[in-house]
């Protein structure tokens, strides 16, 4: 096996599977999530496991040293693009092992990262739907749970949310502008409906570009209302995972209008060495209208994994910084 071919050190869209789905990009983002965002440095031994009897593994410290090595080798391998699908399965399985071995380690975002890594590893041509199914399960699960929760149905959750938990100028303005029970009730039901709709929509798999944009809006709206405190981990995860459900095969060759004599456009074009876009020079025509410019820039930044990564990471890091400040403020009963 040619070692050179095994390593893909570029941020280019992975075309090994023939569909253009940016699998390697997503796998690398999951590595960033685990190490930088979640700060997961070690594979921890079992403590209060889900599976009875797993505590016995605590008596085998060498096993966890070994798993630590496997974890770090897998992280490096995935990031380097070396047999990244195989190593993604290993990472996904390790995350599930850690969670099954320790209830305190359980978190939905951590588990979801493990699921996505596992699915990246399992992916083969023709299995594009597996990412949609995973996203669908998440939103349907979240929507169904809220649908059966009396505090969600009555609006109490959001009433508490706005009045005591996430009190900031934005949430206060919203809460004050729409005084009364109706507002929290409408917001509760809208959230439930949005989650159930996303779940069904992902399963159906039509117009996934619009679904991707809506998912972005949904999670960004949560971050804006809470000034970056609520669910930024899920913003990161859902941005990356919903990126995988875009119809990459059809998006390839999208027209980007540019000005050949512009340094700015030349700079952007430099990042499309694999000619994902169809670059159309409009210098000799009428140039670009502001709308065309915004439209094409939007397309470029969202469909180039490198730029999308900067966007998502930038927002997540901002929220992380904010959280570290908020954690130092104790809640008063």
Per CB under 8 A, residues contacting another protein are 47-48, 50, 55, 103-104, 106, 108-109, 111, 115, 118, 122, 124, 127, 130, 133-134, 137-138, 140-142, 144-146, 148-149, 151-152, 156-157, 159-161, 163-165, 230-231, 234, 331, 333
Cβ-based nearer residue to another protein, 50 or 298: 50
Tell me the Cα Rg of the chain. 22
Cβ-based nearer residue to another protein, 16 or 209: 16
Nearest to 258 by CA among 292, 307, 291: 292
Q: E strands, 36-151, where? A: none
Six-digit token string for 287: 């140039």
In the complex, the smallest distance separating the C-beta of residue 44 from another protein, rounded to whole angstroms, is: 11
In the complex, the smallest distance separating the C-beta of residue 98 from another protein, rounded to whole angstroms, is: 14
In the complex, the smallest distance separating the C-beta of residue 118 from another protein, rounded to whole angstroms, is: 7
In the complex, the smallest distance separating the C-beta of residue 294 from another protein, rounded to whole angstroms, is: 33
C-alpha span between 166 and 91 (Å, rounded): 34
Could you tell me which residues come within 8 angstroms of residue 333 by beta carbon, excluding any fewer than 6 positions away?
none
Nearest to 87 by CA among 106, 74, 98: 74
In the complex, the smallest distance separating the C-beta of residue 48 from another protein, rounded to whole angstroms, is: 5
Phi-psi region of 287 (alpha: psi -120 to 50; beta: other; left: phi over 0): left
C-alpha span between 316 and 326 (Å, rounded): 15
C-alpha span between 6 and 218 (Å, rounded): 37
φ, ψ of residue 168 to 5 degrees: the values are -150, 170
Cβ-based nearer residue to another protein, 187 or 268: 187
Cβ-based nearer residue to another protein, 9 or 329: 329
In the complex, the smallest distance separating the C-beta of residue 131 from another protein, rounded to whole angstroms, is: 12
Cβ-based nearer residue to another protein, 4 or 324: 324
C-alpha span between 14 and 26 (Å, rounded): 10
Cβ-based nearer residue to another protein, 162 or 265: 162
């Amino acid at each position: 096996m040619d070692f050179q071919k095994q390593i893909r050190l570029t941020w280019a869209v992975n075309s090994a599977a023939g569909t253009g789905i940016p699998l390697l990009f997503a796998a690398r983002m999951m590595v960033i999530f685990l190490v930088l965002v979640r700060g997961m440095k070690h594979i921890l031994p079992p403590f209060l496991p889900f599976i009875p009897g797993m505590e016995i593994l605590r008596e085998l410290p060498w096993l966890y040293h070994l798993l630590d090595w496997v974890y770090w080798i897998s992280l490096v391998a995935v990031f380097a693009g070396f047999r990244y699908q195989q190593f993604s399965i290993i990472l996904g399985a390790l995350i599930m092992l850690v969670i099954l071995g320790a209830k305190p380690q359980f978190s939905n975002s951590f588990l979801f990262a493990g699921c996505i890594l596992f699915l990246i590893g399992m992916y083969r041509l023709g299995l594009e739907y597996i990412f949609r199914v995973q996203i669908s399960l998440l939103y349907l699960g979240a929507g169904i749970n809220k649908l059966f929760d009396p505090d969600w149905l009555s609006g109490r959750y959001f009433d508490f949310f706005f009045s005591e938990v996430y009190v900031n100028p934005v949430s206060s303005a919203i809460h004050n502008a729409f005084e009364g029970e109706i507002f929290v009730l409408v917001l509760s039901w809208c959230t439930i409906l949005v989650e159930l709709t996303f779940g069904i929509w992902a399963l159906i798999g039509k117009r996934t570009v619009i679904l991707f944009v809506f998912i972005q809006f949904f999670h960004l709206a949560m971050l804006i209302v809470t000034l970056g405190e609520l669910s930024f981990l899920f913003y990161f995860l859902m941005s990356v995972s919903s990126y995988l459900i875009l119809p990459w095969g059809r998006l390839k060759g999208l027209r980007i209008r540019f000005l050949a004599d512009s340094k700015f456009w030349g700079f952007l074009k430099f990042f499309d060495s694999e000619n994902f876009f169809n670059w159309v020079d409009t210098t000799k025509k009428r140039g670009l209208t502001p709308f065309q410019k915004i439209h094409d820039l939007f397309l470029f930044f969202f469909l180039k994994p490198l730029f999308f990564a900067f966007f998502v990471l930038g927002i997540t890091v901002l929220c992380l910084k904010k959280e570290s400040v908020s954690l130092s403020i104790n809640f008063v009963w």
